[in-house]
A and B are shown apart, each in its own frame.
Chain A
Amino acid sequence: MTALLSVENVSKTFSFRSGWFGPLTTLDALCDVTLSVAPGETLAVVGESGCGKTTLGRSIVRAQPVTAGKVTYRPPGHDPVELTALDKRAMKPWRRDIRMIFQDPMSSLNPHMRVFDIVAEPLRIHRLARGQELEERVAGVLEKVGIPRDAMGRYPHAFSGGQRQRIGIARALVLDPKLVIADEAVSALDVSIQAQVLNLLEDLKDEFGLTYIFISHDLGVVNYIADRVVVMYLGHVVENAPTEALFERPRHPYTEILLEALPIADPARRMRRAKTVRGEIPYLGSRPTGCPFHTRCRFAEDRCRTEKPALRKVGETEVACHFAETLELKGAYGDAPATRTFAKA
């Protein structure tokens, strides 16, 4: 199956000066990121704060230009479009197909616009509907997300966080998109509301035939919604695997740490859990040489400090670790011993 959207070797470097004559500092938010998402798939992108997952999302929707690499969109029944090569005007029609849901429902809705106008805004910008038709389309999509028609004239402050997030979803869906990028779409919500919104996203996916790129730091949520998971660390993709495979048998030591951080409901099991995480995430400006993870990895060797591992296929998984084949890492379910076996002495 051809990918709906593919990201190839995308890098994004932010550079800034401290003061007028200060040294130029560069910060690599994304390093050579390659991934793709198939039509109908839900791809999750996970990682700690500052790992570049939000930058990745913003680069795909062209909220900011990329430094290198390309993002290609393959609309069904149309030639592939290289989004990164388009200028603002040429990009505009594709904005209808690729939409974004934001993290903070408090700041993502304009407090000075009525809900109707917020959801109608994309339709107006693209001149897709007006008058009665506009009202019907907006009311229709709002009802789909559970906001009744008679609440359309209200301002966002009259709604709760969960309701606002659903309004944000309605705004994304009103243009009948193909691909929706949800950047931490449920992180700011209460757990009970999270479930509600996740279920809504699932239902809408089936109904509209959507493809999601779901950016999150919450593996519990990811396990629930994603078909495939991309793990990012310091701007690198370190592992890309089907959700089941990733949770059962992680291939990268960093993924193991992430899984270990999952809350465990059973206190007895929680006590037995070994604490393997160590160190802080390094400052992006002073990225380690070699494998980006070697400063915190308990399996790190000299090779890791000098040679950067490439993303390669191991089983179903794509992983960037020199020892991916030999590491026995703990998954989220079992208590497999975390040992390293050497294939060759």
Chain B
Amino acid sequence: MTAETLPREHVLPEAVPVRESQAGLMWRRFRQHRLAVWSLWIVAAFYFVALFAEFLAPFEPSAYNPRYTYAAPQGLHFSYTDEEGSWRFGPYVYGYKVEIDQAAMRRTFVVDKEVRHPVGFFVETKPYHLLGIIPMNVKLFGPTEPRAPLYILGADRLGRDLLSRLIHGTRISLSIGLIGVVLSLFFGVIIGGFSGYYGGWFDSVVQRVIEFIRSLPTIPLWLGLAAALPRDWSSLQIYFAITVILSLIGWTELARVVRGRFLALRTEDFVTAARLDGASDWRVITRHMVPNFMSHIIAATTLAIPGMILAETALSFLGLGLQAPIVSWGTLLQEAQNIRTLASAPWLLLPGVAVVVAILALNFLGDGLRDAADPYGR
């Protein structure tokens, strides 16, 4: 039989979408995973908040007001009836009145429904720099009366606005996860790649080192390393030192994933075919192997971010990670360490809710990506 006599209908399968790319296939599969799609939006929202923290937060994270310590959350309201009894629309918060708790002999703030403080959008404040570079003097929202209290999620022991601190903490906590993972990825891919592609004694040594690192109990190790950081370092230096410490463990996981993929692909026929084509090692790796596990790497990376965030939170909670004045979810939760605070100001646990939501969303997103990464189900 010659080429010309091959029946054409046998040559061309119908009903197959023409030229669908790998990314297209992955996206189609990803969209079927509803939870992952929702998680993608949530994660995107978190990173949006992290990026525009200065604009979104009504106050500086360090702005305090001793008149409103442990003020309860006001909540944000949108409609009310005014003195004439007609219905009005416009955002506002209630004011506070002080009550003396006779049993505890303490001042407590209760929401006073008699007083309304209007809240405005795009209110002018003192000038600040968005992302530290773009000069701005407008916030997304804020009190229109300069001295009115605005504690939508309540205040902490110094009368600082929890919402503003949470928004600023999001930036630190999420970026530490991201930077830590990028560092881990860098070491993981290079070390794991060499280990998997060349194998031999180097592979054995690397695997034993990874096993050793992973057998160390992480919390004491982190504690030790964090405690060893010089006291006189600036908070920025501490921040980077903590990311490095976190990725010191983090790279091992990614190195294993990369090595595993290299080992699996190294013996695949299409890799042998590329080598027999005369392709260099570099070409074989970059053109034939990496595209085949890029999606796995992306998924593994996404799944590694929550671990980083949790580790940072744990370290900071224990007082050995980031230090005030840096605001992260972990340092915020430090405020909620004792039972008395929890009893009188339970809203200080809200950063914990943010941690849970972010971790879950990242995990679901990672799961969705991992499932979508194998569109052929090979």
**Interfacial residues, chain A to chain B (CB-CB below 8 A):** 20, 61, 63, 91-92, 95-96, 99-100, 102-104, 106-114, 121-122, 125-126, 143-148, 151, 153-155, 157-160, 163, 168, 171, 196, 199-200, 203
Contacts and interface: CB of A to CB of B under 8 A. Distances in A.
B69 interface: no
- Of B6, B18, B288, most A-chain CB atoms within 10 Å: B6
A110 B269 CA distance: 9
Contact of B276 (A99, A110, A113): A99
A110 B292 contact: yes
A106 B376 CA distance: 11
B126 interface: no
Interface in B1-49: 1-3, 6, 8, 11-13, 16, 18-22
A161 B268 CA distance: 17
Contacts of A143: 3
A154 B19 contact: yes
Nearest to B4: A146
Interface residues of B, number: 34
Nearest to A95: B278
Given A95-B276, A95-B277, A153-B19, A199 B1 contact: yes
Contacts of B291: 110, 112-113
10 contacts: A100-B273, A108-B269, A110-B270, A125-B278, A148-B12, A153-B19, A154-B19, A158-B13, A160-B13, A199-B1
B270 A109 contact: yes
A100 B21 CA distance: 28
Given A110-B291, A110-B292, A121-B274, 10 more contacts: A110-B274, A111-B270, A125-B277, A146-B6, A151-B12, A154-B16, A157-B375, A168-B273, A171-B277, A199-B1
B266 to A, nearest CB: 12
Contacts of A113: 288, 291
Interface in B261-320: 268-270, 272-279, 283, 287-288, 291-292
A102 B269 contact: yes
Nearest to A152: B19
B147 interface: no
B200 to A, nearest CB: 11
Contacts of B278: 91-92, 95-96, 122, 125-126
A203 B3 contact: yes
Nearest to B8: A148
Nearest to B293: A112
Nearest to B3: A146
Given A95-B277, A125-B278, A148 B11 contact: yes
Contacts of B67: none
Contact of B6 (A153, A171, A196): A196
B23 to A, nearest CB: 10
B235 interface: no
Contact of A103 (B21, B269, B274, B376): B269
A122 B270 CA distance: 12
A125 B283 contact: yes
A213 to B, nearest CB: 14
Contacts of B283: 125
Interface of B: 1-3, 6, 8, 11-13, 16, 18-22, 204, 268-270, 272-279, 283, 287-288, 291-292, 375-376, 378
A163 B7 CA distance: 12
A106 B378 CA distance: 9
A111 B26 CA distance: 13
B288 A110 contact: yes
A1 to B, nearest CB: 27
Contacts of B378: 106, 111
A116 to B, nearest CB: 10
Contacts of B2: 200, 203
Contacts of B21: 155
Nearest to B1: A199
Nearest to B374: A111
A111 B275 CA distance: 16
B235 to A, nearest CB: 44
- Of B11, B275, B378, most A-chain CB atoms within 10 Å: B11
Contact of A63 (B1, B20, B276): B276
A111 B375 CA distance: 10
A71 to B, nearest CB: 14
A159 B13 CA distance: 7
Contacts of B16: 154, 158
B374 to A, nearest CB: 10
Given A95-B277, A102-B272, A111-B378, A163 B288 contact: no
A151 B291 CA distance: 22
Contacts of A145: 3
A20 B277 contact: no
**Which 4 pairs show the lowest CB-CB distances between chains A and B?**
A108-B269, A146-B6, A199-B1, A112-B291
A189 to B, nearest CB: 13
Given A147-B11, A148-B12, A153-B19, A108 B1 contact: no
B273 A108 contact: yes
B214 to A, nearest CB: 19
Nearest to B288: A110
A155 B273 CA distance: 17
A20 B20 contact: no
A13 B291 CA distance: 33
A144 to B, nearest CB: 5
Given A63-B272, A102-B273, A125-B277, A144 B3 contact: yes
Nearest to B17: A158
A144 B5 CA distance: 11
A153 B11 CA distance: 14
A292 to B, nearest CB: 27
A122 to B, nearest CB: 4
A23 B4 CA distance: 58
- Of B269, B283, B287, B291, most A-chain CB atoms within 10 Å: B269
Contacts of A106: 378
